[in-house]
Structure 1
Amino acid sequence: MEKLTAASPEAQSADLVAANIEQLKALFPELITEGADGVAVNVDVLKALVGDASVTDADEKYGLNWHGKRRARQLALTPSTGTLRPCPEDSVDWDTTRNLMIEGDNLEVLKLLQKSYAGKVKLIYIDPPYNTGKDFVYPDNFQDNIKNYLELTGQVEGGQKISSNTESSGRFHTDWLNMMYPRLKLARNLLREDGALFLTLDDTEVANMRRIGDEVFGEENFLANVVWQKKYAVANDDPGIGVMHDHVLVYRKSDAFVRGLLPRTDEQNARYSNPDNDPRGEWASDNYVSNKSKDERPTLWYAIRHPLTGEDVWPEEHAVWRYSQEKHLEIEREGRLYWGPNQSYRKPRLKRYLKEVQQGIVPPTWWTFEDCGHNDEAQKETSALLGQKVFSTPKPLRLVQRMLTIAAPKDAIVLDFFAGSGATAHATLKANAEDQGSRRYIVVQLPEPLSADNNDQKSAALFCDQLGKPRNIAELTKERLRRAGVKVKADNALFVGDTGFRVFKLDTSNIRAWNPKSHDLEATLFDHQDHLLEGRSEADVLYELLLKLGLDLCVPIEKRRIEGLDVHAVGGGVLLACLAEKITREQVEPLAQGIIAWHKVLAPAGPAGRESTCVFRDSAFQTATGEADDVAKTNLAAILEQHGIQNVRSL
């Protein structure tokens, strides 16, 4: 039985460096060599393969560079040793929902989601903190980001560290770019090949974001710089030129992306009618004349006989017909020429049927507040839902719904890792209710502390007090989601879709890392007899296994009592886990046979169950005197392996 430790690959998030090396090895095996620290890439061979001129490490190269960029790139590639702990008590419809609200530092959360959700997300929308010269709370710690996060949010002693990002700091743009770059790198991995990223920001960083967006996604995958009219008026006391817009940058993962169309308006549809009871349905007349001259298009200059007068009708000297004579005769045979009421028109028009027209409008890059809402509308939405103003700069639902229309079909997974006011999740529920979709959302929010001593945060902090919740932004997000679900159901009585969400919280791994005390090695050895941290539940360990084995956090989990012990079957038997604290020699045989029988009933995918993994608590195997019972552990593994369950692990 193989033992899982904190250093095991299964106990960590996806190793992106190893994955990149494997891809290079598959394409160019000769690139891979051995270096001082193990597997390495031979740059000299790379130069030979693509030509010296194609490989550069010179300072003078095209692109955006800043202090810390290399470290930011490395930060994205460093696996996380954290986990996500389930919080059913904070959730809504835990047992049935497929939506996720994750409380934690989004950098670490994005790393933890890599195995389970890589290539599965259809739309990412983020509204990161604007670089306004005020503090933003994302100072990443390269050495121990989990510890830094727990200190930052006041969950462990060490104080709350908030880095200043004022213009006078000398790192005004640098800090913001270092915060965004690794998160975008990780986010791209989660997108489907036909997925897209939408990102809102103001003028301060839009130029820089274009450059790093081009680098992360590829310049060819830039789709648009949408301008959203976020205000309907300019303040009269504005000392400069009044800003009324924000930007929405749009990138696709690849050319597999197909944008959706915006719905046609009632005014546009009103053009179509059926005054002559045409069996082909509603139609509108379209111009039959082109503005090209007969010198430019001589084949389109010909006579058409008027059906009423019998006269030959020609285009004007400066114009021609839109269709060739052959196509015109076809149109005439189909009865699609329209000469007006009582054939009173001097020139014909074309009957264009509504069913032939593209059933929607190509999205423009100018989004007005009439179509997408504005800041004041967003504030009124959240204030009405929560009973008071608690969010400083929420986004309107109509803005997010337009993004969903363009890039998130009915079965999409939608991700927002700067959840803030929860507008993305709310808009997703609203869209599902309106079109009977089954979109899922995953939202991530840092539990950034709120202080009643800060005038900008006072109302939000006191609102948390009213709820009896800790003073942090993540609590506000969760409350918005709870009330949004209730409102969507109230506004759509026939909607029976999912309005719940599962809450998970970022924490250190349940698997104890080897951290020897140099002054007391005996105590260290004693502490590490049990590799699982004290105070962690079976559910904590089970969901960490889901993450590390690449299973969906909303995958079905069944539980059976076998030989007096709880056994969990995840994803129809892909993962089987018995995390009991004690398993005796007498229980081994019946426990193993019970697991085998259940596994046969579940019949998970894979030959002879080889894709299934069975996990036990390593310290559970003890003799009557409390000593490790390797015989019981070995026997259990052997019985399971004999019956086709090959991957038997202990924690």
Structure 2
Amino acid sequence: MTNAAQANQPDNDTLDMHSPNLVDDNVQKISELFPNCITESEDESGNLKKSVDFDLLRQELSQSLVEGGQERYRLDWPGKRQAILEANTPIAKTLRPARDESVNFNTTENLFIEGDNLDALKLLQESYLGQVKMIYIDPPYNTGNDFIYEDNFAEDTASFLERSEQVDEEGNRLVTNTESNGRFHSDWLTMMYSRLKLARNLLKDDGVIFISIDDNEQSNLKKLCDQVFGNENFIGCAGRITKKSNNKGEFWSPNFDYVLTYTKDINYTRPFFGGVNFSAYNLTETEGDRKGEKYQLVRLYMSSLKNRNPEQRFWIDCPDGSKIIPPGQTFPNERPVLGDGIWRWTKDTFNKNLDRIVIKEVKSSNLLNEHKQPAKWNVFTKTYLSDVIANASAKPNSFIENCINQTGSHDIKSLGIPFDYSKPKTLIKYLMEVARIDSGDIVLDFFAGSSTTAHAVVDTNAQDNSKIQFIMVQIPEKLTDDTAEHKEALKFCVDNNIEPTIAEISKERIRRAGKQIVEDNKNKDGIGDLDIGFRVLKIDSTNMKEVYYTPDEYSQADLDNLESHIKEDRTGEDLLFQVMLDWGVPLSLPIEVKEIQGSTVYYVGIDSLVACFDTISTDLIDEISKDDPLKFVSSELAITHDQDKTNIKARFAQLSPDTQVKFI
């Protein structure tokens, strides 16, 4: 028996109780001789398994060109067309707010979405189309032990999921993708394809996506992303050192992975930023238009500058009335000789930038005064960090050495949370830096895990006084004690009375990280304005009742149940967020809840959207109209008579004519 055949023998002692499958044996033998001829295909029952590409096999066995199917350069696999269909298929789901699990719910601009990331990406299409500057994801590496999403394309009902045992009682549909699976690569590619297609829609034209991956699927992922984003938008694949020493592996000892990088449109994307010495910019502007900006002082005279331009050799007035000039043999209005010192700027540039000039009394100066004696003053210019970043031409190295996994473990354990395989916060901060992420930008991670990305965003905001927003998406994958990496995390959840899921670990990390960052920066100006909150939104079925029957099939009980078209367990705030999704309103806008005329009224984005799902009266409309909202929405259940809907629209048309009025 060959080594390969032995490797395929089952590990247990269970008897097969059937005769050998000779076809499988033959496929295995061909695989040993011609591995390039082995593929994955469906059998008559629709099951995927290893099979032989006979056109390729014929070519391998022929000394002349063999006619076969049309050749083309592309990546195909069973399930690709279904993945495209799934990405384009709408879903009847919504996002329901969870105030008690959120931090600063009304004012925060950060989002944590709990649920299947495919559903989340679909739900975000209206509100965040073309709005995300950076996406970072760390998807399953497909090692044979990872959980992947078991997507279903034939039907989207609870009965299918129950029948196929793809979900637990919480609605999770993750399965282990073992190497014995006949569609090992196909399932992983299918899962990634639909999600990447939807993610691309969310990127800004100059947006960028970073994907961490290892050797198992790196080559397939590159081809997949070439199709989704376009090969012309591939902007590099960086290597990242994952650990300093590692004795695993049979041949190479693996100690790095990849960060595959694409942009939405290469024509709009700025070159990556190669970095500066941030610590040198240790001063902060205290007044003027650039108040709050970091800068450093740079001498206006540098001895390395040598030319004879008379416009760069002139007297500068000091605070005590004296004059100073760089050392030399000539003085204005004589033309400088070679070797005379000159300023970095011409006199015209100096006069135009007096607000950036600092003249300081120093212990030692190499400048001369008007008596041609050593001066006691020196001249400096303010060099602002933001200007240096904007004009920097250096590019980052494509090998990342200082973001090892051990740092990631320390990051989360410093918060008192035991969780393995967390990416280092420094990696995300570094990627944000090279991609020039700035205030107002949105960073998305739809394989959030323990929310390293959110931690990195808040930390960067504290460091730079910026207001970058994050959107995290994480399915509530259950923690179990059957794996070492989950055992401690499970105990942590039990001890802290939280649900034992990765989503709960993720939320708890953001809470603790925010508090720690505020404490570490408590003496820093502006730290009180730091957004350490996040708004928890959970994916659920639509708020509207589903109608499955034709009118002649209704019973009286059915009719009684349809008195309201809204599900009984849904709140006004549930309805508000479904309206925001449908109308494409950003889910991060501030929300103010007011009591007006005895009804609860929601003000989103001050007065961008006003919603009321309680009983509506004329007095209520009059009061709301004073704010001239852009949009007003209510429920038909909030009006007593059909004609009231017309009256409400007419009232708004009279008092606030620019308000768009809708009912659900």
Query: Please, what TM-score do these two structures have when normalized by structure 2?
Result: 0.69
Deviation at 1:602, TM superposition (A): 2.9
> What is the rounded CA distance, in whole Å, between the counterparts of 1:248 and 1:336 in structure 2?
45
Deviation at 1:131, TM superposition (A): 0.6
Residue 301 of structure 2 contacts residue 343 of structure 2 at CA under 8 Å; is this kept in 1? Answer: no
What's 2:348 paired with? Answer: none
Q: In the alignment, residue 393 of structure 1 is paired with which amino acid?
A: Y
Equivalent positions of 1:563-642 (< 5 A) are: 563-580=597-614, 583=615, 588-594=617-623, 598-599=624-625, 601-604=626-629, 612-622=630-640, 629-642=641-654
What's 2:495 paired with? Answer: 466
Cα distance 1:279–1:73, how it changes in 2: closer, same or farther (>3 A)?
same
> What is the rounded CA distance, in whole Å, between the counterparts of 1:283 and 1:165 in structure 2?
65
Q: In the alignment, residue 105 of structure 1 is paired with which amino acid?
A: D
- Matching of residue 505 in structure 1 with residue 538 in structure 2: yes
> What is the rounded CA distance, in whole Å, between the counterparts of 2:612 and 2:543 in structure 1?
16
* Matching residue within 367, 377, 396 for 2:400: 367
* Matching residue within 273, 281, 303 for 1:261: 273
Deviation at 1:95, TM superposition (A): 2.3
What's 1:529 paired with? Answer: 563
* Matching residue within 422, 446, 468 for 1:439: 468
Q: In the alignment, residue 429 of structure 2 is paired with which amino acid?
A: Q
Local SS of the residue matching 2:414: helix
What's 2:213 paired with? Answer: 201
* Matching residue within 573, 580, 603 for 1:546: 580
Local SS of the residue matching 2:121: helix
Equivalent positions of 1:286-435 (< 5 A) are: 359=392, 361-369=394-402, 373-387=403-417, 389-390=418-419, 392-407=420-435, 408-435=437-464
Residue 264 of structure 1 contacts residue 361 of structure 1 at CA under 8 Å; is this kept in 2? Answer: no
**Once the two structures are superposed, what CA deviation does each residue of 1:177-216 show, in whole Å capped at 9, x if it has no partner?**
1111111111111111111001100011111111111111
**Once the two structures are superposed, what CA deviation does each residue of 1:46-82 show, in whole Å capped at 9, x if it has no partner?**
xxxxxxxxxxxx9643211111111111111112221
- Matching of residue 71 in structure 1 with residue 102 in structure 2: no
* Matching residue within 185, 191, 194 for 1:179: 191
Moved over 6 A (4+): 145-151, 266-269, 283-286, 329-334, 353-358
What's 1:649 paired with? Answer: 662
**Once the two structures are superposed, what CA deviation does each residue of 1:422-447 show, in whole Å capped at 9, x if it has no partner?**
11111111111111111111111010
568-577 vs 110-119, which moves further? 568-577
Equivalent positions of 1:222-301 (< 5 A) are: 222-235=234-247, 238-254=249-265, 255-265=267-277, 280-281=300-301
> What is the rounded CA distance, in whole Å, between the counterparts of 1:547 and 1:101 in structure 2?
15
Cα distance 1:500–1:278, how it changes in 2: closer, same or farther (>3 A)?
closer
* Matching residue within 125, 130, 141 for 1:119: 130
Cα distance 1:128–1:522, how it changes in 2: closer, same or farther (>3 A)?
same
Local SS of the residue matching 1:249: strand
Cα distance 1:560–1:459, how it changes in 2: closer, same or farther (>3 A)?
closer
Residue 108 of structure 1 contacts residue 146 of structure 1 at CA under 8 Å; is this kept in 2? Answer: no
> What is the rounded CA distance, in whole Å, between the counterparts of 2:255 and 2:179 in structure 1?
23
- Matching of residue 457 in structure 1 with residue 482 in structure 2: no
Residue 113 of structure 2 contacts residue 474 of structure 2 at CA under 8 Å; is this kept in 1? Answer: yes
Deviation at 1:128, TM superposition (A): 0.6
**Once the two structures are superposed, what CA deviation does each residue of 1:557-606 show, in whole Å capped at 9, x if it has no partner?**
334434322222323433232201xx3xxx64323323xxx33x4345xx
What's 2:98 paired with? Answer: 87
> What is the rounded CA distance, in whole Å, between the counterparts of 1:631 and 1:165 in structure 2?
58
Cα distance 1:383–1:562, how it changes in 2: closer, same or farther (>3 A)?
closer
> What count of residue pairs does the alignment treat as equivalent?
502
* Matching residue within 162, 182, 195 for 1:170: 182
Deviation at 1:646, TM superposition (A): 6.5
Q: In the alignment, residue 280 of structure 1 is paired with which amino acid?
A: L
Local SS of the residue matching 2:603: strand
Deviation at 1:263, TM superposition (A): 2.7
Deviation at 1:238, TM superposition (A): 3.6
Cα distance 1:244–1:427, how it changes in 2: closer, same or farther (>3 A)?
same
What's 1:325 paired with? Answer: none
Query: Please, what TM-score do these two structures have when normalized by structure 1?
Result: 0.71
Local SS of the residue matching 2:494: helix
Cα distance 1:114–1:555, how it changes in 2: closer, same or farther (>3 A)?
same
Deviation at 1:161, TM superposition (A): 4.8
**Once the two structures are superposed, what CA deviation does each residue of 1:592-631 show, in whole Å capped at 9, x if it has no partner?**
323xxx33x4345xxxxxxx43322222334xxxxxx323
Cα distance 1:553–1:336, how it changes in 2: closer, same or farther (>3 A)?
closer
Q: In the alignment, residue 531 of structure 1 is paired with which amino acid?
A: H
> What is the rounded CA distance, in whole Å, between the counterparts of 2:80 and 2:582 in structure 1?
28
Residue 228 of structure 1 contacts residue 248 of structure 1 at CA under 8 Å; is this kept in 2? Answer: yes
Q: In the alignment, residue 515 of structure 2 is paired with which amino acid?
A: V
Deviation at 1:109, TM superposition (A): 0.5
Local SS of the residue matching 1:602: coil
Deviation at 1:475, TM superposition (A): 0.2
Local SS of the residue matching 1:402: helix
451-460 vs 223-232, which moves further? 451-460
224-233 vs 613-622, which moves further? 613-622
- Matching of residue 132 in structure 1 with residue 156 in structure 2: no
Local SS of the residue matching 2:180: helix
Residue 101 of structure 1 contacts residue 443 of structure 1 at CA under 8 Å; is this kept in 2? Answer: yes
> What is the rounded CA distance, in whole Å, between the counterparts of 2:259 and 2:175 in structure 1?
27
Residue 154 of structure 1 contacts residue 449 of structure 1 at CA under 8 Å; is this kept in 2? Answer: no
CA RMSD of aligned residues (A): 3.3
What's 1:216 paired with? Answer: 228
* Matching residue within 481, 487, 490 for 2:519: 490
> What is the rounded CA distance, in whole Å, between the counterparts of 2:84 and 2:298 in structure 1?
63
Residue 90 of structure 2 contacts residue 122 of structure 2 at CA under 8 Å; is this kept in 1? Answer: yes
Cα distance 1:67–1:334, how it changes in 2: closer, same or farther (>3 A)?
farther
Residue 305 of structure 2 contacts residue 342 of structure 2 at CA under 8 Å; is this kept in 1? Answer: no
Cα distance 1:209–1:282, how it changes in 2: closer, same or farther (>3 A)?
farther
Q: In the alignment, residue 411 of structure 2 is paired with which amino acid?
A: E
Greater relative contact order, per chain length (Cα 8 Å cut-off, separation 6+): 1
Q: In the alignment, residue 662 of structure 2 is paired with which amino acid?
A: R
**Once the two structures are superposed, what CA deviation does each residue of 1:502-543 show, in whole Å capped at 9, x if it has no partner?**
111111111222222897544333322211111111111111
Local SS of the residue matching 1:401: helix
Whichever structure has more helix as a proportion of its residues is 1
Deviation at 1:480, TM superposition (A): 0.8
Cα distance 1:525–1:330, how it changes in 2: closer, same or farther (>3 A)?
farther
256-265 vs 139-148, which moves further? 139-148
Residue 572 of structure 1 contacts residue 603 of structure 1 at CA under 8 Å; is this kept in 2? Answer: no
Q: In the alignment, residue 133 of structure 2 is paired with which amino acid?
A: K
* Matching residue within 504, 511, 514 for 2:547: 514
What's 1:13 paired with? Answer: none
> What is the rounded CA distance, in whole Å, between the counterparts of 2:111 and 2:98 in structure 1?
11
> What is the rounded CA distance, in whole Å, between the counterparts of 2:70 and 2:540 in structure 1?
39
**Once the two structures are superposed, what CA deviation does each residue of 1:393-429 show, in whole Å capped at 9, x if it has no partner?**
1111111111010111233111111110211111111
Cα distance 1:334–1:141, how it changes in 2: closer, same or farther (>3 A)?
farther
What's 1:315 paired with? Answer: none
**Once the two structures are superposed, what CA deviation does each residue of 1:2-40 show, in whole Å capped at 9, x if it has no partner?**
xxxxxxxxxxxxxxxxxxxxxxxxxxxxxxxxxxxxxxx
Local SS of the residue matching 1:85: strand
